[in-house]
Structure 1
Amino acid sequence: MALRLSTGLRNKLLGTEGFKTIMQNGVIRIFPGVQPSSADDGESVSHLLEITVSSGTFTAGTAVNGLNFAEPSGGSCAKASSEVWSGAAATTGTAGWFRFYANDMTTGSDTSHARFDGSVSTSGAQLNMSSTAITAGATTTIDSFVVTMPAS
Protein backbone atom coordinates (compact mmCIF):
# COMPACT_ATOMS: atom_id res chain seq x y z
CA MET A 1 0.00 0.00 0.00
CA ALA A 2 1.09 3.56 -0.62
CA LEU A 3 1.08 6.64 1.56
CA ARG A 4 -2.20 8.42 0.86
CA LEU A 5 -2.58 12.17 1.27
CA SER A 6 -5.96 13.75 1.92
CA THR A 7 -7.32 16.27 -0.57
CA GLY A 8 -6.98 18.88 2.17
CA LEU A 9 -3.27 18.12 2.67
CA ARG A 10 -2.56 18.15 -1.08
CA ASN A 11 -4.33 21.50 -1.43
CA LYS A 12 -2.46 23.01 1.53
CA LEU A 13 0.88 21.83 0.09
CA LEU A 14 0.12 23.91 -3.02
CA GLY A 15 0.15 27.03 -0.81
CA THR A 16 3.04 28.72 0.96
CA GLU A 17 3.25 26.47 4.05
CA GLY A 18 5.45 23.39 3.95
CA PHE A 19 4.63 19.87 5.14
CA LYS A 20 6.42 20.33 8.49
CA THR A 21 4.33 23.41 9.32
CA ILE A 22 1.03 21.96 8.11
CA MET A 23 1.43 18.77 10.17
CA GLN A 24 2.94 20.49 13.25
CA ASN A 25 1.69 19.18 16.60
CA GLY A 26 -0.25 16.34 14.98
CA VAL A 27 -1.18 12.90 16.23
CA ILE A 28 -1.11 9.34 14.86
CA ARG A 29 -3.86 6.80 15.33
CA ILE A 30 -3.21 3.15 14.51
CA PHE A 31 -6.13 1.04 13.30
CA PRO A 32 -6.80 -2.65 12.64
CA GLY A 33 -7.75 -3.97 9.23
CA VAL A 34 -7.17 -2.66 5.72
CA GLN A 35 -6.10 0.89 4.89
CA PRO A 36 -8.92 2.90 3.26
CA SER A 37 -8.58 3.69 -0.44
CA SER A 38 -8.39 7.42 0.37
CA ALA A 39 -7.28 9.55 3.33
CA ASP A 40 -10.54 11.45 2.72
CA ASP A 41 -12.53 8.36 3.78
CA GLY A 42 -13.86 7.93 7.30
CA GLU A 43 -12.03 5.57 9.64
CA SER A 44 -14.91 3.02 9.90
CA VAL A 45 -13.23 1.25 12.86
CA SER A 46 -12.05 2.30 16.31
CA HIS A 47 -8.34 2.95 16.74
CA LEU A 48 -6.15 0.57 18.71
CA LEU A 49 -3.59 3.12 19.75
CA GLU A 50 -2.90 6.86 19.71
CA ILE A 51 0.69 8.04 19.34
CA THR A 52 1.66 11.36 20.98
CA VAL A 53 4.81 12.84 22.49
CA SER A 54 5.83 10.56 25.38
CA SER A 55 2.34 8.98 25.53
CA GLY A 56 0.92 12.27 26.80
CA THR A 57 -2.71 13.29 26.47
CA PHE A 58 -3.40 15.02 23.16
CA THR A 59 -6.06 17.71 22.83
CA ALA A 60 -6.88 18.83 19.30
CA GLY A 61 -6.11 22.48 18.68
CA THR A 62 -3.34 22.70 21.29
CA ALA A 63 0.39 22.07 20.93
CA VAL A 64 0.59 19.93 24.08
CA ASN A 65 1.96 16.44 23.28
CA GLY A 66 1.55 16.92 19.51
CA LEU A 67 4.03 15.25 17.16
CA ASN A 68 6.51 17.26 15.11
CA PHE A 69 8.85 16.74 12.20
CA ALA A 70 12.46 17.89 11.79
CA GLU A 71 13.46 20.33 9.05
CA PRO A 72 12.94 18.75 5.60
CA SER A 73 15.97 17.36 3.81
CA GLY A 74 16.09 16.03 0.25
CA GLY A 75 12.30 15.96 -0.07
CA SER A 76 11.82 14.03 3.18
CA CYS A 77 10.67 14.90 6.69
CA ALA A 78 11.66 12.70 9.63
CA LYS A 79 10.21 12.73 13.13
CA ALA A 80 11.79 15.31 15.40
CA SER A 81 14.72 13.49 17.04
CA SER A 82 14.10 15.27 20.36
CA GLU A 83 10.62 13.72 20.69
CA VAL A 84 9.63 10.26 21.91
CA TRP A 85 6.62 9.16 19.84
CA SER A 86 4.63 6.63 21.89
CA GLY A 87 1.24 5.65 23.17
CA ALA A 88 -0.53 3.15 25.42
CA ALA A 89 -2.97 0.94 23.54
CA ALA A 90 -6.67 1.50 24.14
CA THR A 91 -7.58 -2.01 23.02
CA THR A 92 -6.05 -5.28 21.78
CA GLY A 93 -5.78 -6.10 18.08
CA THR A 94 -3.53 -6.30 15.05
CA ALA A 95 -2.26 -3.04 13.56
CA GLY A 96 -3.04 -2.72 9.84
CA TRP A 97 -2.82 0.99 9.00
CA PHE A 98 -2.30 4.43 10.50
CA ARG A 99 -3.63 7.92 10.01
CA PHE A 100 -1.52 10.98 10.86
CA TYR A 101 -3.83 13.90 11.64
CA ALA A 102 -2.84 17.58 11.64
CA ASN A 103 -3.33 19.39 14.94
CA ASP A 104 -7.09 19.92 14.38
CA MET A 105 -7.51 16.09 14.30
CA THR A 106 -10.54 16.05 12.03
CA THR A 107 -11.94 12.52 11.95
CA GLY A 108 -14.58 10.94 9.73
CA SER A 109 -15.10 11.48 6.03
CA ASP A 110 -13.50 14.80 5.06
CA THR A 111 -11.82 16.45 2.05
CA SER A 112 -10.69 19.78 3.49
CA HIS A 113 -8.39 18.93 6.42
CA ALA A 114 -4.76 17.80 6.40
CA ARG A 115 -4.07 14.15 7.19
CA PHE A 116 -2.43 11.14 5.59
CA ASP A 117 -2.64 7.35 5.82
CA GLY A 118 -0.20 4.52 5.42
CA SER A 119 0.15 0.81 6.00
CA VAL A 120 1.61 -0.78 9.13
CA SER A 121 3.73 -3.93 9.11
CA THR A 122 6.97 -5.32 10.50
CA SER A 123 8.75 -4.44 7.22
CA GLY A 124 8.04 -2.87 3.83
CA ALA A 125 5.30 -0.52 5.09
CA GLN A 126 5.10 3.23 5.63
CA LEU A 127 5.16 2.54 9.38
CA ASN A 128 7.27 -0.44 10.39
CA MET A 129 6.89 -1.75 13.92
CA SER A 130 8.71 -4.56 15.73
CA SER A 131 5.32 -6.28 16.08
CA THR A 132 1.84 -5.51 14.76
CA ALA A 133 0.28 -7.22 17.79
CA ILE A 134 -1.15 -4.45 19.98
CA THR A 135 -2.11 -5.27 23.58
CA ALA A 136 -4.44 -3.07 25.63
CA GLY A 137 -2.45 -1.02 28.14
CA ALA A 138 0.93 -1.80 26.57
CA THR A 139 3.06 1.09 25.30
CA THR A 140 4.22 1.20 21.68
CA THR A 141 7.06 3.51 20.65
CA ILE A 142 7.78 4.76 17.12
CA ASP A 143 11.56 5.11 16.88
CA SER A 144 11.76 6.14 13.24
CA PHE A 145 9.26 7.82 10.94
CA VAL A 146 10.08 9.49 7.60
CA VAL A 147 7.69 10.95 5.04
CA THR A 148 9.07 11.37 1.52
CA MET A 149 7.18 13.66 -0.83
CA PRO A 150 6.94 12.68 -4.50
CA ALA A 151 8.91 14.81 -6.96
CA SER A 152 5.68 16.04 -8.58
Structure 2
Amino acid sequence: MTAKKSTGLATYMAVTGSIKDALDGSFIYVYDGVEPATADAALSGNTLLAKYSVGNDGTTGLTFSSTPVAGVLQKTAAETWSATVLADGTASFYRMCVAAPTGASTTDVRLQGSVGTSMLDDLTMTSTTFTTGDSKSIDQFQIY
Protein backbone atom coordinates (compact mmCIF):
# COMPACT_ATOMS: atom_id res chain seq x y z
CA MET A 1 0.00 0.00 0.00
CA THR A 2 1.02 3.60 -0.32
CA ALA A 3 0.65 6.08 2.49
CA LYS A 4 -1.65 9.01 1.70
CA LYS A 5 -0.36 12.57 1.89
CA SER A 6 -2.73 15.34 2.94
CA THR A 7 -3.15 18.37 0.71
CA GLY A 8 -1.31 20.33 3.41
CA LEU A 9 1.68 17.96 3.22
CA ALA A 10 1.73 17.98 -0.59
CA THR A 11 1.61 21.80 -0.59
CA TYR A 12 4.42 21.97 1.99
CA MET A 13 6.59 19.67 -0.12
CA ALA A 14 5.87 21.60 -3.32
CA VAL A 15 6.45 25.09 -1.92
CA THR A 16 8.18 25.12 1.45
CA GLY A 17 10.48 22.16 1.95
CA SER A 18 11.06 18.46 2.23
CA ILE A 19 8.86 15.73 3.64
CA LYS A 20 11.51 15.34 6.38
CA ASP A 21 11.14 19.01 7.36
CA ALA A 22 7.36 18.69 7.29
CA LEU A 23 7.17 15.59 9.51
CA ASP A 24 10.12 15.99 11.91
CA GLY A 25 8.66 16.65 15.36
CA SER A 26 5.35 14.96 14.60
CA PHE A 27 3.68 11.99 16.33
CA ILE A 28 2.11 8.77 15.05
CA TYR A 29 -1.51 8.33 16.12
CA VAL A 30 -2.83 4.78 15.66
CA TYR A 31 -6.59 4.20 15.27
CA ASP A 32 -9.08 1.39 14.89
CA GLY A 33 -11.96 1.22 12.46
CA VAL A 34 -12.33 2.16 8.82
CA GLU A 35 -9.44 4.18 7.41
CA PRO A 36 -10.66 7.51 5.95
CA ALA A 37 -10.46 7.73 2.15
CA THR A 38 -7.92 10.57 2.29
CA ALA A 39 -5.54 12.12 4.84
CA ASP A 40 -7.62 15.32 4.52
CA ALA A 41 -10.83 13.61 5.69
CA ALA A 42 -12.20 13.78 9.23
CA LEU A 43 -12.10 10.73 11.45
CA SER A 44 -15.43 8.95 11.71
CA GLY A 45 -16.01 7.07 14.95
CA ASN A 46 -12.40 5.88 15.15
CA THR A 47 -10.83 5.25 18.56
CA LEU A 48 -7.32 6.53 19.27
CA LEU A 49 -5.40 3.46 20.40
CA ALA A 50 -1.93 4.96 20.88
CA LYS A 51 0.18 8.08 20.39
CA TYR A 52 3.82 7.33 19.56
CA SER A 53 6.53 9.72 20.72
CA VAL A 54 10.27 9.49 21.38
CA GLY A 55 10.76 7.43 24.51
CA ASN A 56 7.00 7.41 25.12
CA ASP A 57 7.24 10.79 26.86
CA GLY A 58 4.19 12.10 25.00
CA THR A 59 5.87 15.40 24.15
CA THR A 60 9.00 14.70 22.09
CA GLY A 61 8.15 14.39 18.42
CA LEU A 62 9.58 11.76 16.10
CA THR A 63 12.38 12.57 13.65
CA PHE A 64 13.89 11.11 10.51
CA SER A 65 17.47 10.41 9.52
CA SER A 66 19.12 13.14 7.45
CA THR A 67 20.67 10.43 5.26
CA PRO A 68 18.08 8.60 3.13
CA VAL A 69 18.88 5.09 1.94
CA ALA A 70 18.25 4.65 -1.80
CA GLY A 71 15.90 7.64 -1.69
CA VAL A 72 13.90 6.25 1.25
CA LEU A 73 13.39 8.38 4.37
CA GLN A 74 13.95 6.35 7.56
CA LYS A 75 13.29 6.91 11.26
CA THR A 76 16.26 8.17 13.25
CA ALA A 77 17.94 4.93 14.39
CA ALA A 78 18.90 6.28 17.83
CA GLU A 79 15.30 7.12 18.71
CA THR A 80 12.91 4.74 20.44
CA TRP A 81 9.43 5.35 19.02
CA SER A 82 7.03 4.01 21.64
CA ALA A 83 3.60 4.40 23.20
CA THR A 84 1.41 3.16 26.01
CA VAL A 85 -1.86 1.80 24.63
CA LEU A 86 -4.79 4.10 25.52
CA ALA A 87 -7.72 1.85 24.55
CA ASP A 88 -8.48 -1.73 23.55
CA GLY A 89 -8.91 -2.31 19.83
CA THR A 90 -7.52 -3.56 16.55
CA ALA A 91 -5.18 -1.13 14.83
CA SER A 92 -6.11 -0.47 11.21
CA PHE A 93 -4.46 2.83 10.25
CA TYR A 94 -2.24 5.65 11.46
CA ARG A 95 -1.91 9.35 10.98
CA MET A 96 1.43 11.08 11.40
CA CYS A 97 1.02 14.74 12.30
CA VAL A 98 2.06 17.31 14.89
CA ALA A 99 -1.30 17.55 16.66
CA ALA A 100 -3.98 14.90 16.94
CA PRO A 101 -6.22 15.22 13.87
CA THR A 102 -9.75 16.18 14.78
CA GLY A 103 -11.57 17.30 11.66
CA ALA A 104 -11.29 17.57 7.93
CA SER A 105 -8.44 19.80 6.76
CA THR A 106 -6.69 20.62 3.51
CA THR A 107 -4.01 22.65 5.32
CA ASP A 108 -2.86 20.31 8.11
CA VAL A 109 0.33 18.35 7.38
CA ARG A 110 -0.63 14.66 7.68
CA LEU A 111 0.59 11.31 6.47
CA GLN A 112 -1.90 8.44 6.69
CA GLY A 113 -1.37 4.75 6.11
CA SER A 114 -2.50 1.24 6.88
CA VAL A 115 -1.41 -0.76 9.94
CA GLY A 116 -1.09 -4.51 9.72
CA THR A 117 1.12 -7.56 10.06
CA SER A 118 2.00 -7.84 6.37
CA MET A 119 4.90 -6.17 4.60
CA LEU A 120 2.22 -4.80 2.26
CA ASP A 121 0.96 -2.52 5.06
CA ASP A 122 2.39 0.98 5.46
CA LEU A 123 3.18 0.33 9.14
CA THR A 124 4.02 -3.29 9.87
CA MET A 125 3.56 -4.54 13.44
CA THR A 126 3.90 -7.99 15.00
CA SER A 127 0.29 -7.70 16.21
CA THR A 128 -2.56 -5.29 15.54
CA THR A 129 -4.24 -6.16 18.83
CA PHE A 130 -3.91 -3.25 21.24
CA THR A 131 -4.70 -3.73 24.94
CA THR A 132 -4.99 -0.79 27.33
CA GLY A 133 -1.79 -0.23 29.31
CA ASP A 134 0.47 -2.32 27.07
CA SER A 135 3.68 -0.82 25.70
CA LYS A 136 4.19 -0.78 21.94
CA SER A 137 7.15 0.31 19.85
CA ILE A 138 7.94 0.99 16.22
CA ASP A 139 11.39 -0.30 15.34
CA GLN A 140 11.34 0.56 11.63
CA PHE A 141 9.49 3.23 9.72
CA GLN A 142 10.14 4.34 6.16
CA ILE A 143 8.59 6.80 3.76
CA TYR A 144 9.05 6.04 0.07
Is this a same-fold pair by TM over 0.5? Answer: yes
Deviations along 1:62-120, whole A, 9 cap, x unmatched? xxx1000112523321111111000001011100000000x355532100011110000
Q: For the residues of structure 1 that align with 2:16 and 2:102, how far apart are their CA atoms?
A: 25
Percent identical among aligned pairs is 33
Matching residue of 2:110: 115
* Contact map agreement 2:39 2:110 (CA 8 A) in 1: yes
* Contact map agreement 2:51 2:58 (CA 8 A) in 1: no
Q: For the residues of structure 1 that align with 2:67 and 2:36, how far apart are their CA atoms?
A: 27
After TM superposition, the structure 1 = structure 2 runs for residues 29-108 of structure 1, keeping only pairs within 5 Å, are: 29-44=29-44, 45-58=46-59, 65-73=60-68, 74-101=70-97, 103-108=98-103
Q: For the residues of structure 2 that align with 1:10 and 1:92, how far apart are their CA atoms?
A: 33
Pair 1:22–1:111, CA change in 2 (3 A): same
Q: What one-letter code is carried by the residue in structure 1 that aligns with 2:18?
A: G
In structure 1, stretches of 5+ residues that fail to align are: 59-64
Matching residue of 1:7: 7
Question: C-alpha displacement at 1:32, in angstroms?
Answer: 0.5
Question: C-alpha displacement at 1:43, in angstroms?
Answer: 1.7
Q: For the residues of structure 1 that align with 2:121 and 2:33, how far apart are their CA atoms?
A: 14
* Contact map agreement 2:5 2:39 (CA 8 A) in 1: yes
TM-score under structure 1 length normalisation:
0.87
Question: C-alpha displacement at 1:20, in angstroms?
Answer: 0.8
Q: What one-letter code is carried by the residue in structure 2 that aligns with 1:91?
A: A
CA RMSD in angstroms, aligned pairs only: 1.3
- Which shifted more, 40-49 or 22-31? 40-49
Question: C-alpha displacement at 1:54, in angstroms?
Answer: 0.9
* Contact map agreement 1:25 1:68 (CA 8 A) in 2: yes
Pair 1:11–1:72, CA change in 2 (3 A): farther
Aligned residues: 141
After TM superposition, the structure 1 = structure 2 runs for residues 11-22 of structure 1, keeping only pairs within 5 Å, are: 11-22=11-22
Q: For the residues of structure 2 that align with 1:16 and 1:77, how far apart are their CA atoms?
A: 18
Pair 1:38–1:129, CA change in 2 (3 A): same
Q: For the residues of structure 1 that align with 2:67 and 2:143, how far apart are their CA atoms?
A: 9
Deviations along 1:18-44, whole A, 9 cap, x unmatched? 111111110011001221110001122
